[in-house]
Amino acid sequence: MDSIQHAVDGEHVDISRRNLLRGTAGLAVAGAVLAAGTSSAAAQHSHGAHGANAMPSPGGSLSNRIYQVVDGLTDIGKNPTDIPGPITRKQPETVKVELETVELEARLDGRTTFRYWTFNGTVPGPFVRVRVGDIVEVTLKNAEDSSMMHNVDFHAVTGPGGGAEATTAAPGETKGFTFKALNPGLYVYHCAVPPVAMHIANGMYGMILVEPEGGLPPVDREFYVMQGEIYTEETFGSSGLLTESYEKLLNERPEYFVLNGHVGALTEHFPLKAQVGETVRIYFGVGGPNFTSSFHVIGEIFDKVYQLGSVTSPPLTDVQTATVPAGGATIVEFKTEVPGRYVLVDHALSRVERGLAGFLIVEGEANHEIFHASEHTE
């Protein structure tokens, strides 16, 4: 709650407090009590956990949550290969989606942590995959040790708030709703409790793919990547536990730009990997909350772009850079031809200096016909 307290310091006290109260209606007392336990609870999450990117057990408790830990710091970075497989069934079904909103202190950069708000302990949250016509039963549990109310708004939903009102949950509460997936496509979901921008900036976003009848064309590799901004009082590169800045958020002045939650998530921890000759598909979304991405892979050309995440329009072909709006998505595909290290960027390249980059490492035989460095004599 320290971070929130900072947000209400100074001249923005009235605006901030009003927004916060709107977001925590009925929570004033509970929030204050819970705040005291926040940091110790976050510390517990990082004990004895290795490797697992745990999903909470269905209907399970908050205790025994296990998060990935790297270098002694809890890591919310989402593994981009953590995607359910393509849907093979030919008929719609009822699908259950279980989300748990979890607040935890985790790695932002090498020696830097941040208090993230997450779906299921990762940023982005779980990749949800359904088929057009499916009935989707969404359950959202807000962890008992949360300090804020949370909910979820799926852009794939036709209905009030995308489910936000139906899922607004105080700490310890579980809410839900059911929707029919009418429109195929790749959609963002996010927390929509005011101030919405704060909940998104703190990590509360993810994506849902609604497959069309017959699915998408098969590919060799699928990856899940999302871009976001982080607003801190301290400047980029500071160490220690950083404090969120409500003022910078309102002024759209982020200190950090990240792929999959933290600096280095897709370079040091989870670089994308493929073999020469394979076809790669990247589901790319922008949680934001504010900045449009000029998504580009240095050294590659997108053979196909499903612009704006539409899978019912013919994909564009042979594209260098894809514009992806805040709260929007794209699907890009390309065949790898030449081994090497390719870099995923937002081609607004100042953002690379603020943390945004990912690697795609392609291994295999050199292909001199397509690319080779020239030989020079002295």
For the annotated binding site for Cu cation, the residues are 150, 155, 190-191, 199, 204, 347
Name the helix (H) or strand (E) containing 174: strand 174-180
Work out how close the CB of 49 gets to Cu ion at its nearest, in angstroms, rounded to a whole number: 23
Q: Which of 115, 141, 150, 269 touches Cu ion by CB under 5 A?
A: 150
Q: Report if residue 156 touches Cu ion, rule: CB under 5 A.
A: no
Closest to Cu ion by CB, 31 vs 184, is 31
Distances (CA, A) of 11 to 7, 35, 72, 338: 10, 23, 37, 55
Name the helix (H) or strand (E) containing 298: strand 293-298
Q: Which stretch binds Cu ion (CB under 5 A): 33-41, 186-194, 276-284, 298-306?
A: 186-194
Query: What does the alpha-carbon distance between residue 73 and residue 111 come to, in Å, rounded to a whole number?
Result: 9
Q: Which stretch binds Cu ion (CB under 5 A): 36-44, 144-152, 242-250, 365-373?
A: 144-152
Q: Report if residue 204 touches Cu ion, rule: CB under 5 A.
A: yes
Closest to Cu ion by CB, 78 vs 281, is 78
Residue-by-residue DSSP string for 246-275: HHHHHTT--SEEEETTSTTTBTTT--EEEE
Closest to Cu ion by CB, 101 vs 245, is 101
Numbered residues of the known binding site: 150, 155, 190-191, 199, 204, 347
Phi and psi, residue 53, nearest 5°: -100, 80
Q: Report if residue 128 touches Cu ion, rule: CB under 5 A.
A: no
Closest to Cu ion by CB, 150 vs 354, is 150
Hey, what are 109's tokens?
């950069």
Smallest CA-to-CA distance from 348 within 321, 378, 377, 313 is with 321
Judged by CB under 5 A, the number of residues near Cu ion is: 5
Closest to Cu ion by CB, 103 vs 211, is 103
Work out how close the CB of 294 gets to Cu ion at its nearest, in angstroms, rounded to a whole number: 28
Distances (CA, A) of 360 to 77, 127, 347: 16, 20, 16
Work out how close the CB of 103 gets to Cu ion at its nearest, in angstroms, rounded to a whole number: 9
Work out how close the CB of 273 gets to Cu ion at its nearest, in angstroms, rounded to a whole number: 33
User: Tokens 């009102």 correspond to what residue?
Assistant: 165
Hey, what are 24's tokens?
């925590």
Q: Which of 141, 199, 351, 354 touches Cu ion by CB under 5 A?
A: 199
Burial category of 77 from C-beta neighbours within 10 Å (exposed 0-12, middle 13-18, buried 19 and up): buried
Binding region for Cu ion (CB under 5 A): 150, 191, 193, 199, 204
